Amino acid sequence: MKFTLSWLHDHLETSATLEEICAALNRIGLEVEGVEQRGAAVAPFLTARILSAVQHPNADRLRVCRVDAGPGFNDVQVVCGAPNAREGISVIFAPPGTYIPGLDITIKAGKIRGEASGGMLCSLRELGLGAESDGIAELPEDTFPGQSYADFAGLEDTVIEIAITPNRGDALAVYGIARDLAATGLGKLKPFLADTVDGTFPSPIKWDDTYTEACPWVLGRTIKGVKNGPSPQWLRDRLEAIGLRSISTLVDITNLFTIDLGRPLHVFDAARIKGDTLTVCRGGNETIRALDGKDYIVTSEDCVIADGAGVQSIAGIMGGEATEVTDATTDVFIECALFDPIRIALTGRRLGINSDARYRFERGVDQAMPVMALEAATRLIMELCGGEASEVVSAGARPHWQRKAKLRFKRVASFGGLDVPADECMTILGHLGFETTTRDEHSVTVAVPSWRNDVAQPVVLDPSSDIPADRCMELENAVSRIEPECDLIEEILRIKGLDQVQPVPLPTRSVVPGTALTPGRTRLARARRVMTARGLMETVGFSFIAYDEAHKFGDAPESLRLLNPIAADLDQMRPTPVPNLLAAARRNAVRGWPDLGLCEIGAAFSAEGQTTIAAGLRAGRTSRQPGVTAVPMTFAASKADALDVLTSLGVPSDALTATPDAPCYYHPGRSGVLRQGPKNVLAHFGELHPSILQEAGFDSPVVVFEVFLDRIPEPKRRKKSAPDLSPFQPVRRDFAFLAAHDVPVETILRAARGAERNLITDVSLFDIYAGDKLPEGQKSVGIEVVIQPKEASLTDAQLEALSEKVIAAVAKATGASLRS
């Protein structure tokens, strides 16, 4: 929000300095983002008069001018190339040493084509104040030479820019800012009065029934016989000072009230309206060319203003080109309405339109001001453009915005932390517009002003929630009682000064601090440490990818499409971090680093909700070492990574089973799923599908794994005790089983491990062989069984008996037999 110091003084009677005003704004929450001294850049420029102008003897397009620019420069020769440089006109003169902001140069005295030149005659563009022009700027004939151009043009005014929080729509008006400053005691607020303009004839244009859900109340009136054209200088200066381009008097007046009162208005060319009625209604998939020259399609979700020919304005956001006022306009219709903030925000976001009107309507405007704003705009239009006003026409009904809030004086100290006397609380609230309705010794009830839409708003919980209806009503009533009082306390503290609130430490439950990390956070840290210890470099990727890319790696439901993505190829929430890792690996490969390992712990999204996945990727070949041949990555590496992460998080390896039903983006024969039980899938692992690798530009296998951290059950808490170490030497026995080719190795390992759990501590695979020396359809599986005696060393007979148990258990579970 930008405004000038002189504009603020129109509403605030104060002798405070600029520094005091800025300090007060920061103190009350209207943070100053910038202060611009507009005249500082053009202070060296002077007003001047050309005494004579003759043709340059050595150049056809240059003229040699004698210039009077006041004391010290009352007879200066300047070479100028402007076609309008002529004797007798008043101009802008830049003495030597002046920096020209529009050209980014500093003027020096010298010679041009042999003729001395002691300065420069400038255009407004060269001062950085105007658009491109063919010649130098011409000032009024009665301009006195030697004045500072900044003083002459009124550029000494200071521009202040403040940040506005979303709840303070009332501060999007210079009048609202002045009201807040007056409440701090910085000055006195001047009352804003708008005299009623009596209509002399019925308006030929009327409002039809309005779309009350989006526009509860709309006013308007016709003014005939106006003369539109350039705005007067004071109006142009005021708007241009804050960065608004002057368009015409009628348009500039609406822009003036948008900034001055926070009250957007719109003017239609009455002659270009088809029919005698305007309707505030829903859009109907129509196209409208707006005032910015762009075409927009409005739907039934949008509120529009239409005439007999169709949509003529996107209500509350931007008018249409078809009914735009021009210099030929003689009759206008002024629209002043209240629009629903939510619908304005949704329409503006969907259409991508950012306008001053939208910015104010979506934050809430003064609900009691439409009548006064319409009268003020009517009077200013008639003053600057002439014309005759009709009676006011309306549709809908004046909204019931009145509400009350109660404050207990002691709560300012107990809840707000600052002891403010009751009478001072009343004074502050009164200056902010909160009028007292009832008061006793301990509390006060005030009427909330119409411009404070953020105070004492009723609370309505979502009816689709799981909270019972009676409990919803109880919570709504409780919050509606507490919240208004908190709003009033905030207003008192804000004006009194939040810097006066003494900091108080939070109460401590114990002198010993609690655990900083939750079990879930600890699990993430452990998984990250394990993956990086295995040689994987951690990455951080976006949580969204291209829609087409998401389809390759699972489902891409429409519910997870982004309506406003940061880039066109980042419009879908990712189903897994694997695409991000693959893209990072591709970028490294094309830069000469094909052999690498990457990992990421991040969110993944599906129709069922959000999950956290620890994912890793290995590409290229194994590391080159003396005596070891580098080979392409295999799915076994990704399985080992996944198993290491799971076991580090407390999942027993013997509780896991591997099945070959990995998702579609994995290689169908070189991938798998790790499960704990038949339903709980904890991880995927394996090579990526060849089609995905080919499209990504890889000519060698890339292996990945995904560990679903949210599905890992919390480990049971057990009392810590000393490890049960046996004093006896373990015994290792090797077995080679002849099994069918389709028998999973893990089934053999699990059966052997379960043959005697009290003595067998580990079973591992050391060989798989399938060849012509074995029967067709058979394979040899070699396993090592570790036997750990606990009570005493085992005899040969006991070892033989245990071996027989292992052989029998494997045979029963898989049908395999001991290979002879």
DSSP string, 689-720: PHHHHHHHT-SS-EEEEEEEGGGSPPPPP---
Please give the distance of CA 537 from its chain centroid, rounded to a whole number.
30
CATH fold of 206-396: Phenylalanyl-tRNA Synthetase; Chain B, domain 3 (3.50.40)
Burial 744-759 (b: 16+ CB within 10 A, else e): bbebbbbbbbbbeeeb
Q: Are strands 99-100 and 90-94 parallel, antiparallel or unpaired?
A: unpaired
Choosing among 3.30.70.380, 3.40.50.10320, 1.10.760.10, 3.40.228.10, the CATH entry for 731-818 is 3.30.70.380
Give the model's confidence band at 505: pLDDT under 50 very low, under 70 low, under 90 confident, else very high: confident
Cα 338 to Cα 355: distance, rounded to the nearest angstrom = 16
3-state secondary structure of 762: strand
Question: Which pLDDT score, from 0 to 100, does residue 723 have?
Answer: 74
Question: Which pLDDT score, from 0 to 100, does residue 475 have?
Answer: 57
Q: Which amino acid is at 108?
A: K
Our separate counts of H helices and E strands in the chain read: 19, 42
Sign of the C-alpha dihedral computed for residues 20, 25, 26 and 27 taken in this order: positive
Q: Which two tokens stand for residue 300?
A: 């039934």
* The domain made up of 519-711 is a member of CATH 3.30.930.10: yes
- H or E element, residue 586: helix 578-589
Q: Is 487 annotated as a binding residue?
A: yes
Rounded to the nearest 10 degrees, the angle between the axes of helix 249-260 and helix 233-241 is 50
What phi, psi does 296 have (nearest 5°)? Answer: -130, 145
**CA end-to-end distance (rounded Å), the chain:** 90
Q: DSSP character for 638?
A: H
Region 659-663: mean pLDDT is 90
Q: Give domain 46-152's CATH architecture.
A: Beta Barrel (2.40)
Give yes or no for a contact between 323 and 273, defined as CB atoms under 8 angstroms apart: yes
Q: What's the pLDDT tens digit per position in 133-176?
A: 778 999 988 889 999 888 887 777 889 999 999 889 999 999 99
What phi, psi does 663 have (nearest 5°)? Answer: -60, 170
Closest CA to 90 of 39, 153, 137, 42: 137
Give yes or no for a contact between 553 and 689, defined as CB atoms under 8 angstroms apart: no
Cα 256 to Cα 343: distance, rounded to the nearest angstrom = 25
Q: What is the mean pLDDT of the chain?
A: 89
Rounded to the nearest 10 degrees, the angle between the axes of helix 18-27 and helix 174-183 is 90
Q: Which amino acid is at 145?
A: P
Give yes or no for a contact between 207 and 280, defined as CB atoms under 8 angstroms apart: yes
Other C-beta atoms within 10 Å of 654: how many?
A: 14
What phi, psi does 713 have (nearest 5°)? Answer: -65, 150
Residues 462, 468, 471: CA angle, nearest 5 degrees: 90
Question: Which pLDDT score, from 0 to 100, does residue 745 have?
Answer: 87
Rounded to the nearest 10 degrees, the angle between the axes of helix 796-814 and helix 745-753 is 140
Q: Which two tokens stand for residue 147?
A: 């004045």
Q: Is 198 annotated as a binding residue?
A: no
| More confident call, 409 vs 155 | 409
Q: What's the pLDDT tens digit per position in 569-598?
A: 899 999 999 999 999 999 999 998 889 999
Region 391-399: mean pLDDT is 93
Give yes or no for a contact between 222 and 200, defined as CB atoms under 8 angstroms apart: no
Residue identified by tokens 């030697």 is: 146
Q: Which amino acid is at 410?
A: K
Question: Which pLDDT score, from 0 to 100, does residue 750 have?
Answer: 87
Side-chain-side CA neighbours of residue 739 (13 Å): 26
| More confident call, 128 vs 391 | 391
Q: Which two tokens stand for residue 531?
A: 């993956």
Q: What is the DSSP string of 176-194?
A: HHHHHHHHTTSSEEPPP--
- Strands (E) across 1-119 are located at 2-4, 12-13, 32-37, 46-55, 63-68, 76-80, 90-94, 99-100, 105-106, 110-112, 115-117
What's the CATH number for 2-38+157-189?
3.30.56.10
Mean pLDDT lowest among 222-236, 514-528, 651-665, 716-730: 716-730
Q: Is 260 annotated as a binding residue?
A: no
Q: What's the pLDDT tens digit per position in 692-718?
A: 999 998 988 999 999 999 999 887 766
Partners of 238 in the β-ladder? none
Which range scores top for mean pLDDT: 117-131, 515-529, 705-719, 752-766? Answer: 752-766
Give yes or no for a contact between 436 and 446, defined as CB atoms under 8 angstroms apart: yes
Q: Is 491 annotated as a binding residue?
A: yes
Cα 387 to Cα 200: distance, rounded to the nearest angstrom = 11
Structural Rg of the chain based on CA atoms = 40
Region 337-365: mean pLDDT is 93
Distances (CA, A) of 644 to 470, 586, 648, 649, 684: 51, 26, 6, 9, 13
Other C-beta atoms within 10 Å of 379: how many?
A: 15
2-38+157-189 and 404-500 share one CATH topology? yes
Question: Which pLDDT score, from 0 to 100, does residue 534 have?
Answer: 92
* In the chain, domain spans: 2-38+157-189, 46-152, 206-396, 404-500, 519-711, 731-818
Task: Look up the pTM and report it.
Answer: 0.65
Closest CA to 802 of 731, 738, 725: 731
State yes or no: pLDDT of 724 exceeds 80. Answer: no
Distances (CA, A) of 37 to 4, 158, 164, 296: 10, 5, 21, 39
Q: What's the pLDDT tens digit per position in 444-471?
A: 999 999 999 888 766 555 555 556 666 6
Question: Which pLDDT score, from 0 to 100, does residue 483 have?
Answer: 81
3-state secondary structure of 533: helix
CATH class label, 404-500: alpha beta
State yes or no: pLDDT of 187 exceeds 60. Answer: yes
Rounded to the nearest 10 degrees, the angle between the axes of helix 249-260 and helix 370-385 is 150
Residue identified by tokens 């007999």 is: 308
Please give the distance of CA 812 from its chain centroid, rounded to a whole number.
63
Cα 382 to Cα 168: distance, rounded to the nearest angstrom = 32
Q: Are strands 609-619 and 702-708 parallel, antiparallel or unpaired?
A: antiparallel
3-state secondary structure of 671: strand
Burial 66-82 (b: 16+ CB within 10 A, else e): bbbbbeebeebebbbeb
Q: What's the pLDDT tens digit per position in 308-344?
A: 999 999 999 999 999 999 999 999 999 999 999 999 9
Give the model's confidence band at 474: pLDDT under 50 very low, under 70 low, under 90 confident, else very high: low
pLDDT > 70 in the chain, percent? 95
Biggest CA-to-CA distance, the chain? 129
3-state secondary structure of 224: strand
- H or E element, residue 64: strand 63-68
Closest CA to 145 of 243, 252, 51, 261: 51
Q: DSSP character for 561?
A: B
What phi, psi does 437 have (nearest 5°)? Answer: -105, -50
Question: Which pLDDT score, from 0 to 100, does residue 805 have?
Answer: 93
